[in-house]
Structure 1
Amino acid sequence: MSALAFSGLLNFISCITLAVFVLSRNPANKLHRSYFLFNLAIAIYSCGYFFWQTSNEVTNALYWFKILVFGIILINLTYLHFVFTFLDIGKNKAKILGFVAIASVIFIFLNFNAKLYTGLEPRFDLGFWPRPTFFFHLYLLFWHWTCFYGFYWLLKSLKSETGIRKQQIRFVAIACGIGYIGGATNWPMWYGIHLTPYPNIAISIYIAMIGYSIVRFRLMDLNLIIRWSIAYGAAFLAIFLIYLVGFFAIENILSDYFNIGIGLPILLGIGCAVVIFEPTRRKVSKLVDRFIFKSPDFEIILNGIEKDLNLLDSIEQAASRLINHLKKIWNLEHAGIALWSNSTSNYQLFPAVEFRKEIITQLDEFITQTDYLVKTLEWERRLFRYGIVVDEELIDLTNRASPGEKTTFAKIRRSMRWLGAAACVPLMLNDHLVGFLILGNKHENRIYSEEDKKFLSHVSQIVSSSISDLIPNLSAPNNNWSDESRISDSFSSSS
């Protein structure tokens, strides 16, 4: 099996797997459905690509090449459909999609009637390649137009959007750029230019990036997804190289000494790839985090936080040092800590300087044990990943809540807005809320990722333990709330 054939096989497996996975997560979602159709078109192209590259006879190669080109033409239509659905402008672009659909039908007809190319011929020991006709020149212009037209709308929307939505569009645009490069490297060979299209394998990376962003983006920020993508892409490349070396070695041994065909080496290669992929990805991911993104070693940071808290002898000092740690990690402009005070019967805010410009100070208000944010952190934090109350998840819960529950979530968001918080981390002592960490918006309003939340859950445990040692007489408020005062159990169970 050649490197190009392997790229087709890998792209096919990746597209089918991700298409089914994403669709299964939410079949009713139109974005998931458009992604499925987009993947299906790429899978048809990749299937034809694989069998075309493994064909030894021109007749067989021509049959699969027609399937390959059929998939390419479908990609034009499904790509624009996906982009318009993603940007929520599909209704305004119905005429454009109609035009692309009609043009696609015409080019499909020309493809199956041998009008886009006059036949195939061996070229540069890279299989059979076509001799393009005038109609193909027109199609190639059409292909580039659809690619750039979709990319244009992504960039245009990028200028008008802000915050998380802007990050999401930027990420999809990057993924589309990778896919364009991977596919476009095939065209020079059509015109007799010896440029082996090894980047064709980048299509797998491209489609995986988009699929992952659809399913998980609301829980992850752009840097984390790009790190994930680089890690998986590098792992794919490493396994690809190992596979090629192992495949040719095993094939030569089996053919020379045992007269066995290529079927067994393919199966052995796929089995080995499955076994070594995840360990390879983990190692690459650590290298990417450490040397490319300078990602902090969370274990070292946790040890540093614990050490600093144990060294200091006042709550003001402890809070200042802790907040400085957290602000550096996430590049925050604002952070603080709220601790329960029996003497004032409310949560005191530290360091005080962090809250001088916040709404809660300007209104001379306080957070008490009856506040819905406090109730949520103590009793209903299971609604949130790792028990961290994050504004993005609050918005998502609000959109799915009943009218009465929407009011409750609005009160929680109001308290967070007063505190300048984008995330609140509970500090528990003997199953009671003695305080909570207050974290403002991250740089460029990036969301708190799964990685962030998991790390913060460990920070919560360390800070809770250290504060109880730092303030021996610290006690929790006596919260004897009835079930009616909490967020409804029906919503908790449905979530």
Structure 2
Amino acid sequence: MRLSLEYYIYSGVLNFVSCATITFLVLAQKRGSRLVRLFSIFTGEMAIWALFYFAWLASDDRKLAEFFLRTCMVPVVMMPASFFHFMLELVKRKVSRSIHFINYGLGFLIMSTIYGPLFATSADKPFLVFPYWLRPGPIFPLHVAHFVGIVIISHSIMFNVIKTTNLPGLKKQVSIVFWGTLIGFSSGITNYLAWYRLAAPIANPIVSFYTTAIAYAVVKHQLMDIEVLVKRTLQFAGLVGFAVLLMAIVPKYLLQFFGIPRAVADILGAVIVAASFGKVRESLVNVTDRYLFQKKYDYKELLKKFTDEVMLKVDLKQLLETTVNTLTETVKLDGSSLLLFDKDKRTYELVATRGANGQQVSLGEQEQLVTFLRETHEPVWLDGKVDYPQTIKGQMTLQLKSRLALPLHVHEDLIGVLLLGKKKSDEAFGKDDLDILTPLARTLAIAVTNAQLFEELAKTQAEAAQKEKLAVIGTLSAGINHEICNPLGIVKAQCEAFLLDSEDGILIGKSSQDLLERTSNIMRVALKQIDRATAITQKLSNFAKPIKDPTAQTVSIEQEIDEVLILVGHDLKLEKIEVVKEIEPGLPQIVADRRQLQEVLFNLVRNAGQAIKPPGTIWVRARTSSGLVRVEITDTGSGISEENLKKIYNPFFTTKEPGKGTGLGLFIVRQIVERNKGRIGVESIVGKGTTFSLEFPAVKASPQVAAAR
């Protein structure tokens, strides 16, 4: 295949742009690892070679062209030593300094001959499309042997590492560099064929494949922390390559097919390049993001999910389960687990798990892994460069099946451990992963602590509410006594009347049928009144029991209002307070915990009664409004001032006399209402009264029920 000189000129430009850009960007960093520095040296050598390769081919002067060709070979003779050094750092192998000394020394020795006849001599005629290609001198075969030999040795070492290493991250990194440099060097070595006039170096542009391979290893498998630099380099190189290619092709064809003058054709080519530059840039960004630089998970998506779905949870169990589910799904893990400190057992117990980590585990607070996390505040990162004790590595791998352990610290206390299994892609956890997951773990620790405090507060509130409820039941004794004594009094009267008639002889002479009928009537009355008394005591007993496991179910508001009024109705009558009930016919049901709803209604009706100076009236209304069931409890009491109205839901705030209330009633009422997906509101006019309103979503009736109504 015979290619034009322009092909080789543009290949030099492309190779220079890709290698030089990344070299300058890497060197611009204030700090970098040894691997990064060696990488930049090797890439810089490639950039210098490509620059003078281009200058050599673009020159029309023989002496200048030969000078450029000799100069482009200066970095080439040093490449074997720098590449060998870079490769050893990559595979974490050490050799004696004498080997590096010999390697670099041989390179410098050959370099000292480059500008003389020992390395190369002038050619008497062009070779193919190359007008000024030198002929090799006596030292040149030594350079070729050094170059090819080091490439073979380096790739043999990398191949051995690929076959023997147990570290999946290192294996993938070395594999990518192995194939990338093998293709890149194989392409570059075709230039030696031209030196000996055997063939044209047609694969020269493929030298840039090395840069692409390194970029892939950097981004996909955390070879070095220079991802953004590599990304920008490839995009910039692509833009330059596009511009150069277009400027080479467009003017040539405009001149050839349309006869447009060269100057005009160049201007039109520049216009086309400028017009399409934005679109090409956008396409390059999309292509690099999608195919080369795409992440196994989206950091923004993970942050959004944690912000929207995880951190807002106040229920501890939901928070923990959502955390492991979100991390496992978003980061695409085999599994993840959360362990929290148990103060009673003094151990870290498994509280949530997902996937491959789903086994029962428990860590003692003195175990080496826990001690390390507690004292260092740093994660255990098996894919990193830290050489952890074998105990920690074994426990992480075998028992916990995890590659990353993140401590959950609140101040100096280690409250838990977040364990992440390996990625489904078999990728190693990199520094970029830690940069996002470590802050998330800190935030999660705060969220867990808040949820634990909320759980303790809820428990305290429940206990306080129960005490308040029992105290209230004590105040209902008169009404409850009346409700129970009335039916028992009726039973007693019926029985006494029967006994008196028997003693007075009134029953003598009655037929057995009459006696049986009268006895049956007395029994029916007695049973009815006993059932009435039993129902009252049962309602009181149920109301007095603590609510342990709230259960949402369909509930009739009207029925619950009636239940509450049975408990408090007689006390209100004794206080000369009238209760007026106004319930909309066919009122739909709601979904709520029945006993919690009773507590809410009980508190509001009782508060209304306490706010009234007898005589007075309480209206209990219930109706539907815009898909909601609305309950209003209105009293003719003294009302609440605007200042106090803002504080009525605050815990421990009360306007009652000392000893008459804890101030937890309305605070708990609001929490119960909101927990049952309802809303509570209040309106009050001082001197006229107060109205508390409750709103709950109505249960939609089936078409048959709706038609019946």
- Report TM bin, short chain: 0.5 to 0.7
Find the counterpart in structure 2 of residue 10 from structure 1.
Answer: 17
| Distance in 1 of aligned mates of 2:306 and 2:92 | 44
Whether the 8 Å CA contact 1:185–1:199 is kept in 2: the answer is: no
| Distance in 1 of aligned mates of 2:443 and 2:41 | 45
2:200 matched to 1:199?
no
Find the counterpart in structure 2 of residue 239 from structure 1.
Answer: 239
| Distance change (3 Å), C-alpha of 1:372 and 1:302 | same
| Identity in percent | 14
Find the counterpart in structure 2 of residue 487 from structure 1.
Answer: none
**Which of these residues, 81, 97, 100, is aligned with residue 77 of structure 1?**
81
| Distance in 1 of aligned mates of 2:431 and 2:99 | 39
| Distance change (3 Å), C-alpha of 1:185 and 1:303 | same
| Distance in 1 of aligned mates of 2:302 and 2:40 | 41
Q: Secondary structure at the match of 1:25?
A: coil
| Distance in 1 of aligned mates of 2:201 and 2:372 | 64
Find the counterpart in structure 1 of residue 691 from structure 2.
Answer: none
Find the counterpart in structure 1 of residue 31 from structure 2.
Answer: 25
Find the counterpart in structure 2 of residue 391 from structure 1.
Answer: 381
Find the counterpart in structure 1 of residue 152 from structure 2.
Answer: 148
2:263 matched to 1:256?
yes
Whether the 8 Å CA contact 2:383–2:428 is kept in 1: the answer is: no
2:296 matched to 1:295?
yes
Q: Secondary structure at the match of 1:336?
A: strand
2:178 matched to 1:173?
yes
Shift of 1:450: 0.8
Shift of 1:148: 1.2
Shift of 1:232: 5.2
Find the counterpart in structure 1 of residue 189 from structure 2.
Answer: 184
Task: Provide Cα deviations, 1:313-357, integer angstroms capped at 9, x if missing partner.
Answer: 985576456434433555545521134556667654223795746
Task: Provide Cα deviations, 1:103-156, integer angstroms capped at 9, x if missing partner.
Answer: 873586376316545427556656644455787567545432221111111222
| Distance in 2 of aligned mates of 1:223 and 1:16 | 16
**Which of these residues, 425, 428, 432, is aligned with residue 450 of structure 1?**
432
| Distance in 2 of aligned mates of 1:223 and 1:277 | 28
Whether the 8 Å CA contact 1:154–1:169 is kept in 2: the answer is: yes
2:332 matched to 1:350?
no
**Which stretches in structure 1 are left out of the alignment for 5+ residues?**
400-408, 476-495
Task: Provide Cα deviations, 1:370-410, integer angstroms capped at 9, x if missing partner.
Answer: x656756xxx75xx6xxxx24359964x99xxxxxxxxx99
Q: Secondary structure at the match of 1:109?
A: coil
Shift of 1:221: 3.5
- Aligned CA-pair RMSD: 5.7
Find the counterpart in structure 1 of residue 404 from structure 2.
Answer: 423
Task: Provide Cα deviations, 1:18-75, integer angstroms capped at 9, x if missing partner.
Answer: 67457x636xx87666556545543442342232132122221111101112321221
Shift of 1:242: 3.0
Q: Secondary structure at the match of 1:473?
A: helix
| Distance in 2 of aligned mates of 1:228 and 1:234 | 10
Find the counterpart in structure 1 of residue 698 from structure 2.
Answer: none
| Distance in 2 of aligned mates of 1:139 and 1:423 | 47
State the TM-score, normalizing by the size of structure 1: 0.63
How many residue pairs align between the two structures? Answer: 431
Of residues 304-313 and 127-136 in structure 1, the stretch that sits farther from structure 2 once superposed is 304-313
Shift of 1:256: 2.9
| Distance in 1 of aligned mates of 2:114 and 2:310 | 73
- Which structure would you say has the larger RCO, counting Cα contacts within 8 Å and 6 or more residues apart? 1
Whether the 8 Å CA contact 1:7–1:50 is kept in 2: the answer is: no
Q: How does 1:283-362 map to 2 (within 5 A)?
A: 283-288=286-291, 295-300=296-301, 319-320=320-321, 322-330=323-331, 332-339=333-340, 347-351=348-352, 354=357, 356=359, 358=361, 360=362
| Distance in 1 of aligned mates of 2:366 and 2:231 | 43
| Distance in 2 of aligned mates of 1:25 and 1:310 | 35
Task: Provide Cα deviations, 1:227-246, integer angstroms capped at 9, x if missing partner.
Answer: 87985575245313332156
| Higher gyration radius (CA) | 2
| Distance in 1 of aligned mates of 2:231 and 2:174 | 21
| Distance in 1 of aligned mates of 2:313 and 2:94 | 58
Shift of 1:288: 2.0
Task: Provide Cα deviations, 1:409-460, integer angstroms capped at 9, x if missing partner.
Answer: 9999999787665434466889987644222344658234414641564587
| Distance change (3 Å), C-alpha of 1:303 and 1:73 | closer
Letter of the 1:173 counterpart:
F
| Distance change (3 Å), C-alpha of 1:120 and 1:201 | farther
Whether the 8 Å CA contact 2:339–2:352 is kept in 1: the answer is: no
Q: Secondary structure at the match of 1:447?
A: coil
Shift of 1:98: 2.4
Whether the 8 Å CA contact 1:107–1:139 is kept in 2: the answer is: no
Whether the 8 Å CA contact 1:227–1:289 is kept in 2: the answer is: no
Letter of the 2:241 counterpart:
L
Shift of 1:5: 3.7
Of residues 65-74 and 192-201 in structure 1, the stretch that sits farther from structure 2 once superposed is 192-201
State the TM-score, normalizing by the size of structure 2: 0.47
Q: How does 1:207-246 map to 2 (within 5 A)?
A: 221-222=221-222, 231=231, 234-244=234-244
**Which stretches in structure 2 are left out of the alignment for 5+ residues?**
1-5, 458-709
Of residues 228-237 and 153-162 in structure 1, the stretch that sits farther from structure 2 once superposed is 228-237
Find the counterpart in structure 2 of residue 62 from structure 1.
Answer: 66
| Distance in 1 of aligned mates of 2:452 and 2:125 | 79
The structure whose residues are more often helix, as a share, is 1
Whether the 8 Å CA contact 2:221–2:427 is kept in 1: the answer is: no
| Distance change (3 Å), C-alpha of 1:142 and 1:180 | same
| Distance change (3 Å), C-alpha of 1:60 and 1:204 | farther
Q: Secondary structure at the match of 2:419?
A: strand
